[in-house]
Amino acid sequence: MALLPGLFSIPPVDRDGARYALISRHMAETGALTETRLGWEPKRTQALGLHWMQAGLVKAAASIGVAEAPTRVWLYRLPSLAGGIAAVLLTFWAALAFTHRRGALLAGSLLASSVALGVAGRLAVPEVFLIAAVAAMLGAMGRLYLAERQNGAAGAWHQSGHEARIALVFWAALAFGLFTKGLMTPLYVLMPLVSLVAVDRSALFLRRARSYAGLALLLLVIIGWVVLRRYGPAETQPELLARTLLGPVAREYQGFTGLPGVYLLLFFALFWPAAPLAPLAAPILWKARRIGTVRFLLAWVVPVWVLFEILPTKVPAYVAPTLPAIAILIALAVERGALAIGNTRLTRVLWLWPLIGAVIAVGALLGMAVFDRTTSVLAWPLLLMGFFALVIAAASVRDYGVEKAALVAIAGMLVSGLGVMQLVLPNIESFWMAPRVVAAAARESCGADAGPIEVAIAGYNEPSFALLLPNAPRFLDGAAAADFLKAGGTCRVAFVEKRQEPRFARRAEAIGLRIQRGADLRGFDYNGLREVRLAPYRPG
């Protein structure tokens, strides 16, 4: 319910979501299953797991008759949907090591309704798989750590069958994380384990993680990755041509520069609507940090969080794998009664529920009004109902308790999310230039013998264009776009961004190109935070 709204209706989102899907489309169409580059990019060592899943789905959909399967962005999002569900279920399973089933259900619900999971689950990116893998790894290691604290001794010890299975889960999850996300995965395990060893001054709990089958699976993934990367088949000439003709595709998201503390501010956006519960739980949990369950969960969160706060480059997805532990900590505090409201002042932070909910709803409707001069009549009742539920959740916490209030807030988020993600965001046409370019290209009239239309785009080289167009476009500058029109027949069109038009015009005049100009396509570049105008040109 949290992830489905918008999954099929939101167009491809630049940059990383469209980039991952475009690489997978290239794999599906060419069979180059080890090539993860776009355009003129140098060789990269990106993990292959998600691309293989996406390419396999596209091939399967095409084989059963799904029309234009390679351009259907929702096909590339289905693995992320499955990964999001897996992350929630594995958070529930991990929480069972630290709390009872009621608390585990609350923890899973808090993660399922979070903005971070909602965004990652709707994009064709591997972050949800990393969250799922980390929840499985540390859920398994948490069981082994607590077993060592309860029953461990420095003397003889024999691994039970149950512990062997838990250890296999740990190593299998690590292998899966490497397969889908890559070399960042071990960081989220090593940091907590090193911290626990340093604090406890003992590493005996690690002996319970012994699993020869798990190590063999991990080695299989590592060796397979090295072999495919180093000794995989070289690109054929058609594959090389298909990739390099794209030209300079926009780079992947590199994050932003920020001071320490930025992630704490982002936390209220990433983990909304559960985020206001964290300040209530933090003082109690810190006092209980010597308890084994709390100590392990804090080790899951604090070292990784501090590391990324120190690093100058901030990428919100980097702290997402700590959210399952935060959800479990909140559920643990609720279960133990530590969040029982006895002071009216403590409830004030929960008024962030309707405040942030109102900001999201008003921002969505205002964006639609400002950019497209319209609104969504169907979205208004849903947004008002969601806001009303969030007000009830904040106002009734003293009467019904934190747990029930949190569930009401989650219900309000689901209703509001349906309005924003399904009815507002997909319909802000100014945000989605690629579908409009595809429609404009499809309207171009070519002769019966002219073949498929060829498209060039100058000055706006987002990967979503290449994903949605039936044939990959050429990403060029203004002068090269003029040469592109001059070299071909009548079935060519170039979309030139306004900053490239002077170069296009000068080059067209120099080579004697006669051109026709169509109606401008105006929009907004949410990556560059600027207005965009694309003018279609065709040979005159």
pLDDT tens string 356-404: 999 999 999 999 999 999 999 999 999 999 999 999 999 988 888 889 9
Angle of the 16-30 helix axis to the 73-95 helix axis, nearest 10: 110
DSSP string for 106-134 = HHHHHHHT-HHHHHHHHTT-THHHHHHHH
> In this structure, are 215 and 88 located in the same domain?
yes
The whole-model pTM stands at 0.94
H/E stretch holding 434 = helix 433-442
pLDDT of 346? 65
Q: Which domain holds residue 398?
A: 344-429
> In this structure, are 122 and 247 located in the same domain?
yes
Look at the chain and report how many structural domains it folds into.
Answer: 3
> In this structure, are 175 and 238 located in the same domain?
yes
Kindly report, residue by residue over 120-179, the tens digit of the pLDDT: 999 989 999 999 999 999 999 999 999 988 876 555 677 888 999 999 999 999 999 999
pLDDT of 284? 85
Q: Judge contact between 440 and 536, C-beta under 8 A.
A: yes
Q: Which residue carries 């590391």 as its tokens?
A: 307
Domain contains 277: no
pLDDT of 529? 85
- Above 70 in pLDDT, residue 43? no
The first and second tokens of residue 22, run together, are: 């475009």
- Above 90 in pLDDT, residue 489? no
Domain contains 296: no
> In this structure, are 409 and 447 located in the same domain?
no
Q: Judge contact between 313 and 257, C-beta under 8 A.
A: yes
> In this structure, are 446 and 522 located in the same domain?
yes
Q: How many CB atoms within 10 Å of residue 82?
A: 16
Domain contains 263: no
pLDDT of 341? 57
- Above 80 in pLDDT, residue 490? no
- The proportion of the chain whose per-residue pLDDT surpasses 90, expressed as a percent, equals 67
> HEC string of 60-85?
HHHHCCCCCHHHCHHHHHHHHHHHHH
Mean pLDDT of the chain: 90
- Above 60 in pLDDT, residue 342? no
Tell me how far apart the alpha carbons of residues 57 and 70 are, in angstroms, rounded to a whole number.
Answer: 10
Q: Name 515's bridge partners.
A: 539
Characterise 334 by phi-psi region: left (phi > 0), alpha (psi -120 to 50), beta (else). Answer: alpha
> In this structure, are 49 and 95 located in the same domain?
yes
> In this structure, are 512 and 440 located in the same domain?
yes
- Above 60 in pLDDT, residue 344? no
> In this structure, are 381 and 512 located in the same domain?
no
Domain contains 1: no
Alpha helix (H) residue ranges in 123-186: 127-151, 161-180
Tell me how far apart the alpha carbons of residues 206 and 407 are, in angstroms, rounded to a whole number.
Answer: 37
DSSP string for 319-374 = GGGGHHHHHHHHHHHHHTTTT----GGGGGGGGHHHHHHHHHHHHHHHHHHHHHS-
> In this structure, are 400 and 446 located in the same domain?
no
Kindly report, residue by residue over 411-464, the tens digit of the pLDDT: 999 999 999 999 999 999 999 999 999 999 988 877 666 678 899 999 999 999
> In this structure, are 389 and 524 located in the same domain?
no
Q: Burial code of 28-48, b = ≥16 C-beta within 10 A, e = fewer?
A: bbbebbbbbbbbeeeeeebbb
Kindly report, residue by residue over 86-132, the tens digit of the pLDDT: 999 999 999 999 999 999 999 999 999 999 999 999 998 999 999 99
Q: Which of 282, 306, 303, 304 is nearest to 294 (CA)?
A: 282
CATH number at 471 reads 3.40.190
